[in-house]
Amino acid sequence: MNYFVTAIGTDSGKTLVSAILTEALQADYWKPIQAGRENRDVETVMKLINNGHSFCYEESYLLTAPIAPHAAAKAEGVRIDLNKIHIPLNGGNHIIIEGAGGVLVPLNEKEFVIDIAAKFDAEIVLVYNNYLGCINHTLLTVQELKRRNLKVKGIIFNGKPNKESEEIILISSGYKCLLRILPENNINQEIVTQYAIKLFENWDE
Q: CA 106 to CA 101: how far, in whole Å?
A: 10
**What does the pLDDT average to over 162-169?**
96
Whether 92 maps to a domain, the answer reads yes
Whether 204 maps to a domain, the answer reads no
Where in the sequence numbering do the catalytic residues fall? 31
Q: Give the bridge partners for 98, in sequence order.
A: 5
Q: What pTM does this model have?
A: 0.96
pLDDT tens digits along 9-23: 988 999 999 999 999
Whether 170 maps to a domain, the answer reads yes
Q: CA 59 to CA 42: how far, in whole Å?
A: 8
Q: What is the domain-level CATH number for residue 128?
A: 3.40.50.300
Whether 36 maps to a domain, the answer reads yes
pLDDT tens digits along 43-84: 999 999 999 899 999 999 999 999 999 999 999 999 999 999
Burial class of residue 153, CB neighbours in 10 A (0-12, 13-18, 19+): buried
**What is the distance, to the nearest Å, from the Cα of residue 86 to the centroid of all Cα atoms in its chain?**
18
Domain count of the fold of the chain: 1
Positive or negative, the Cα torsion across 186, 34, 157, 201?
Answer: negative
Whether 205 maps to a domain, the answer reads no
Q: What does the mean pLDDT of the chain come to?
A: 96
pLDDT tens digits along 186-205: 999 999 999 999 999 999 87
Structural domain span for residue 80: 2-199
